[in-house]
């Protein structure tokens, strides 16, 4: 028999309010929300208060379990929640008020949606009776976010709250992860109820893929045995499914080389002899050649993104393609394949490792020799200089000085590509980057979220001056919240990636890509050391190569938030480079 729901508006009279609170088992709506978050194991929430979420913040102040981090912009808050989620695999949680506070989350929701990041975003909403009446700071967040969330809720009854929050975390973290939005009217937060907490989640129609069929596993193994030039194309799904250890085991059994996507960096150790690093527009020549000249491509947890495939109908055109993904909608969506399998990749790899009996060591020897020749002939490189700090060199020195033992976040642009190229990732969840949406301003707040998740790990944001500026206000968050996160800005005074395209395709005509001071082009503008000082954050500028190592070490040794402003030339291009819509044969290497 269902428990009876008692729902009351909060009395304005303080004396009556005291009597209401004394009623047994009654819980205020805002307190109930926080209780539900605690039941889900939430440890931190990135939340910016406002009129429609003040009640929730009052309840958060009384929580002994949840740490509330106050970002200085709602976009900074949701990017920080993403950083936390990407680093841990657990749902990141953020919260804002209604109207403009809520709409400032949309970029972060889209970012999490495209990169399959588990996220629960709570937005305050105007009182129920005002919805649809163009009330002050009212926006239809349910409607506005439909294309960029895995699921969304507009709560219309306080009795729904325990079920809605439990479902939200379940949906966000299960299957193919993604963001879930909960829009919570203010009157719901102010009401009282005798809550009923569900023991489990039951969602009609929300089903996970079945275990992989034995016949499909045997078919994969048969394709491998017939193959002479196999390659594994591994994406973010390897990391999301927790399959990295099984992938390593599978590769060492079969001796098949591995190319990852940018989202898949760290899924397979990039220092392993069979690693090709990553492929695509700015990927390694060996990785692009191997995938496109293979006779068998094992696509594990990927979505055949256009930045990987280029001209999609020419991508791996001579190969038999096996595609494994947990999301059935991705199968045959961008690239028709020969064997599509909807399954949890971890189950597939466990099954393959169990069934594999015939070692192939030596059977792919000619192919592996050819791959090794590509790696030797086309290494990642840069034009070296005795004095000028090349951005690639700065990243490589960061890798060497950290021993590869750091969580790296990035903004979006040239520095993002160089970070993927010149920092070798050997573990999952150590490269945190906005890959699908390409959101500038992502790097520093994401680093804050990752550092909150792992306070004892070194967390460094490799950023560009344009991208860093977009959420520079989060320096205040790092300082006030005592989050000793680091940022290494590769400052070339330009929107570097757009400049590169201008150089390649627009006769170097500058279309508003200079970020410095046109009245004084030789001045370094903006002045990051001065700005950081205003936030109470240490910042050092370095322009000569001989000073770089010591400066990086001071940044790494700092017990506080620290920014290293490295001046680099704007003339550097990210290479290799496959122009959009072209094939690996059109790759530019110098």
Given the residues 9, 136, 211, 361, select the one marked as catalytic. Answer: 136
Residue 433: burial class (beta carbons within 10 Å; 0-12, 13-18, 19+): buried
The SS3 call for residue 144 is helix
Given the residues 10, 54, 58, 137, select the one marked as catalytic. Answer: 137
Catalytic site includes residue 136: yes
Treating both helix axes as pointing N-terminal to C-terminal, what angle do 345-355 and 214-226 enclose, rounded to 10 degrees?
A: 60
Given the residues 150, 186, 375, 538, select the one marked as catalytic. Answer: 186
Strand locations in 375-515 (E): 407-410, 431-432, 459-464, 486-491
The SS3 call for residue 293 is helix
**299: which strand partners?**
233, 323
- Of 28, 12, 426, 15, nearest to 189 by C-alpha is 28
Tokens representing 264?
Answer: 């898949």
**588: which strand partners?**
577
Catalytic site includes residue 74: yes
Distance CA 588, CA 499 (A): 16
- Of 395, 418, 415, 409, nearest to 84 by C-alpha is 409
Distance CA 179, CA 141 (A): 14
Given the residues 79, 497, 500, 538, select the one marked as catalytic. Answer: 497
Given the residues 40, 74, 246, 474, select the one marked as catalytic. Answer: 74
Contact 296, 320 (CB under 8 A): yes
Residue 590: burial class (beta carbons within 10 Å; 0-12, 13-18, 19+): exposed
Tokens representing 585?
Answer: 């044969």
How many CB atoms neighbour CB 177 within 10 A? 24
Q: Residues near 215 by Cβ (< 8 Å), separated by ≥ 6? A: none
Task: Round to the nearest angstrom and report the end-to-end CA distance of the chain.
Answer: 73
- Of 301, 302, 297, nearest to 318 by C-alpha is 297
What residues act catalytically?
74, 136-137, 186, 497
């Amino acid at each position: 028999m269902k428990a009876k729901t008692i729902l009351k508006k909060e009395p304005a009279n303080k004396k009556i309010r005291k009597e209401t609170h004394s009623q047994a088992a009654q819980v205020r709506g805002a307190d109930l929300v926080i209780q539900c978050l605690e039941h889900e194991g939430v440890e931190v929430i990135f939340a910016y208060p406002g009129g429609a979420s003040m009640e929730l913040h009052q309840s958060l102040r009384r929580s002994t379990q949840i740490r509330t981090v106050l970002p200085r912009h709602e976009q900074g808050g949701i990017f920080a929640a993403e950083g936390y989620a990407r680093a841990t695999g657990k749902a990141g949680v953020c919260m804002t008020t209604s109207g403009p506070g809520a709409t400032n989350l949309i970029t972060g929701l889209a970012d999490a949606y495209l990169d399959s990041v588990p996220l629960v975003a709570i937005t305050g909403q105007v009182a129920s009776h005002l919805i649809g009446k163009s009330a002050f700071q009212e926006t239809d967040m349910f409607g506005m976010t439909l294309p960029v969330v895995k699921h969304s809720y507009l709560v219309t009854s306080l009795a729904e709250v325990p079920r809605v929050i439990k479902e939200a975390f379940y949906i966000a973290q299960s299957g193919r992860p993604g963001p879930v939005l909960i829009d919570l009217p203010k009157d719901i937060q102010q009401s009282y109820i005798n809550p009923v907490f569900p023991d489990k989640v039951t969602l009609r129609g929300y089903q996970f893929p079945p275990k992989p069929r034995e016949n499909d596993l045997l078919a994969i193994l048969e394709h491998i045995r017939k193959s002479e030039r196999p390659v594994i194309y591994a994406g973010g799904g390897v990391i999301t499914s927790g399959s990295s250890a099984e992938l390593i085991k599978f590769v060492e059994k079969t001796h098949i080389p591995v190319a990852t996507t940018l989202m898949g960096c760290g899924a397979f150790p990039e220092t392993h002899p069979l690693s090709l690093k990553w492929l695509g527009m700015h990927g390694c020549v060996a990785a692009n050649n191997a995938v496109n000249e293979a006779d068998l491509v094992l696509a594990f947890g990927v979505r055949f993104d256009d930045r990987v495939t280029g001209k999609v109908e020419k991508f791996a055109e001579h190969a038999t393609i096996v595609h494994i993904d947990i999301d059935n909608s991705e199968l045959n969506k961008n690239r028709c394949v020969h064997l599509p399998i909807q399954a949890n990749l971890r189950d597939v790899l466990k099954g393959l490792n169990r069934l594999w009996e015939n070692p192939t060591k030596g059977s792919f020897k000619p192919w592996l020799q050819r791959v090794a020749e590509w790696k030797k002939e086309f290494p990642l490189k840069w034009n070296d200089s005795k004095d000028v700090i090349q951005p690639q060199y700065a990243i490589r020195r960061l890798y060497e000085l950290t021993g590869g033992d750091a969580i790296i976040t990035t903004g979006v642009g040239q520095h993002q590509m160089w970070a993927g190229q010149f920092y070798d990732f050997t573990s999952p969840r150590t490269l945190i980057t906005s890959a699908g949406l390409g959101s500038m301003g992502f790097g520093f707040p994401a680093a804050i979220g990752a550092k909150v998740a792992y306070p004892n790990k070194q967390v460094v944001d490799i950023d560009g001056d344009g991208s860093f500026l977009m959420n520079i206000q989060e320096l205040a968050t790092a300082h006030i919240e005592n989050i000793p996160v680091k940022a290494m800005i590769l400052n070339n005074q330009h929107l570097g990636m757009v400049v590169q395209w201008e150089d390649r395709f627009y006769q170097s005509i500058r279309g508003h890509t200079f970020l410095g001071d046109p009245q004084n082009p030789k001045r370094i503008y903006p002045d990051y050391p001065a700005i950081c000082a205003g936030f109470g954050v240490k910042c050092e500028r370095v322009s000569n190569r001989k000073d770089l190592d010591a400066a990086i070490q001071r940044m790494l040794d700092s017990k506080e938030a620290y920014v290293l402003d490295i001046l680099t030339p704007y003339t550097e291009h990210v290479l290799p480079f496959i122009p959009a819509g072209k094939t690996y044969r059109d790759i530019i290497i110098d």
